[in-house]
Amino acid sequence: MSDVLTGAPSIGSGRRQTRLLPMLGPAFVTAVAYVDPGNFATNVTAGSTYGYLLVWVVLASNAIAMLVQYLSAKAGIATGRSLAALCRDRCPRPVAGALWVQAEIVAVATDLAEVVGGAIALRILFGLPLLAGGLVTGGVAFALLALCRRGHRPFEVAIGGALAVILVGFAVDAVLAGVRPPAVLAGAVPRLAGTDSVLLAVGMLGATVMPHAIYLHGGLTSARSRAGADPRTLLRAQRVDVVAAMTVAGLMNLLLLVVAAAALSGRGIDTIEGAYAGLGSTLGSVAAALFAVALLASGLASSSVGTLSGQLVMEGFLRRRIPDVVRRSATLAPALLVLAVGVDPTRALLVSQVVLSFGIPFAIVPLVWLTARRDVMGALVNHRLTTVAGAVCAAAVIGLNGMLIAAVVGPV
């Protein structure tokens, strides 16, 4: 396991009311993946194009995220290993190899969204060219990861600070936009409106339920498990951690969508920079600036989390560690290439989220299968209802992806 995670403190036998605090934090690190720049692209496009129609996708995606992140955390606690390592150990070699290849493709798509998002924010705020902004985003991600050398807590605090910046920005914008609660409730009813709405729904799902976050969470909790914490106590702490973190992430996604629906609906805005300009003209410069600062915080924080996740995936599947610079360069290069050749950045973000959606089943299915096995999980094996719920989530994701393929291919 990566040495960036070995700073987890040993949990002693202190008073019960103080035991849980050191165990909290992994879910908030993974939560930043649920509000990365890909979410900005998909939710802004959904709100400005369809108003409140796709609110239900945010709610359903967040419910799925809450369950799968809990299962990932539980697997790490029960086994002391990440999901990638468990797949290598428990799956046939060709299957494990295929899972590793698709996980690396997911890592590239993830980095694309995060770096492009950070670059857009830097261009909006400071006028930096996109390529230069991408390089800055990558550099700051390295700096954030350097905090891991001091133990897990400084890194978690930094990521938590980024989440706070995003939440405050969205909340203020929602107040300024004058969101209509009845319309939000109406949008909670599942509906679609043609092929483009299916594409957006799949993209929103891929932006919310991030495959690399599923791999990462078990790695973070396994480090705490090996540090001597009681598994049952640690599992209780992770329930609290997951519910709190995923609720915050879901609220941020919902706020972003309803702000776009309230302030930008019907204006034909399909780019992040267009959304920034639209918020400025509709709600004022403060609202637009808060949106841009939130985007920057999202890009910088999620890029570092994505790099950490990619390292854990490679170590788990290949049982080897490569230098962070090499690992970072491998996934950063495609993002920089997209910026260099002038591909529309918002379109690139949307496509990357669709790719991520197709990667979700390759993380959820093994996760549900492994956590349902007593020989893997021991006393922490899933209750049957938990396994059924996980299978339903996997089927829902696969079904939505299938709807997209059918909509694109059309009748044969």
Residue 160 confidence (pLDDT): 86
At residue 6 the predicted structure's pLDDT band, cuts being 50, 70 and 90, is very low
pLDDT of residue 335: 84
What mean pLDDT comes out for the span 200-215? 79
pLDDT for the residue numbered 310: 81
User: Would you give the distance in Å from CA 338 to the centre of its chain?
Assistant: 21
- At 8, the pLDDT band (50, 70, 90 cuts) reads very low
Give the best-scoring range by mean pLDDT among 34-38, 62-66, 162-166, 366-370.
366-370
Q: What is the pLDDT of residue 21?
A: 56
213 closest CA partner among 43, 69, 398? 69
Residue 406 has pLDDT above 80, yes or no: no
Ordered by where they begin, the domains of the chain are 20-409 (1.20.1740.10)
Is the pLDDT at 10 greater than 70? The verdict is no
User: What is the average pLDDT across 221-247?
Assistant: 80
Residue written as tokens 């909670």? 188
Residue 13: pLDDT above 50? no
Residue 395 clears pLDDT 70, i.e. is over it? yes
Pair of tokens at residue 325: 């610079």
DSSP-derived letter for residue 8 is P
Q: Is the pLDDT of residue 220 over 50?
A: yes
Quick one: CA dihedral 46, 48, 49, 54, positive or negative? positive
Q: Which of 243-247, 351-355, 408-412 has the lowest mean pLDDT?
A: 408-412
- Quote helix, strand, coil % in the chain, to nearest 5: 85, 0, 15
Tokens of 204: 């929103």
Q: Place 227 in a pLDDT band, splitting at 50, 70 and 90.
A: low
* 200-226 average pLDDT score: 78
410 falls in which pLDDT band (50, 70, 90)? Answer: low
pLDDT at 15 over 70: no
114 pLDDT band, cuts 50/70/90, is confident
pLDDT of residue 72: 93
Provide the pLDDT confidence category of residue 90 given band limits of 50, 70 and 90.
very high
Could you report the per-residue pLDDT of 279-323, keeping only the tens digit for each?
Answer: 999 999 999 999 999 999 998 888 888 878 888 888 888 887 777
Average pLDDT, the chain: 83
What pLDDT was estimated at residue 5?
45
Predicted pLDDT at 52? 92
* pLDDT (0 to 100) of residue 280: 93
Output the pLDDT for position 198.
Answer: 83
pLDDT at 3 over 60: no
pLDDT at 110 over 90: no
Could you report the per-residue pLDDT of 249-289, keeping only the tens digit for each? 999 999 999 999 999 987 767 788 889 999 999 999 999 99
| pLDDT at site 16 | 47
Q: What is the pLDDT of residue 209?
A: 77
Q: Does residue 238 carry a pLDDT above 60?
A: yes
pLDDT score, position 18: 45
Distance CA 192, CA 182 (A): 19
Residue 334 predicted with pLDDT over 60: yes
Contact 371, 79 (CB under 8 A): no
Predicted pLDDT of residue 224:
66
- Return the higher-pLDDT residue of 359 and 412: 359
Stronger pLDDT, 107 or 282, i.e. the higher one: 282
Show the DSSP H helices in 37-150 as ranges. 37-50, 55-79, 83-90, 93-126, 130-146
**Taking residues 203-207, what's their average pLDDT?**
74
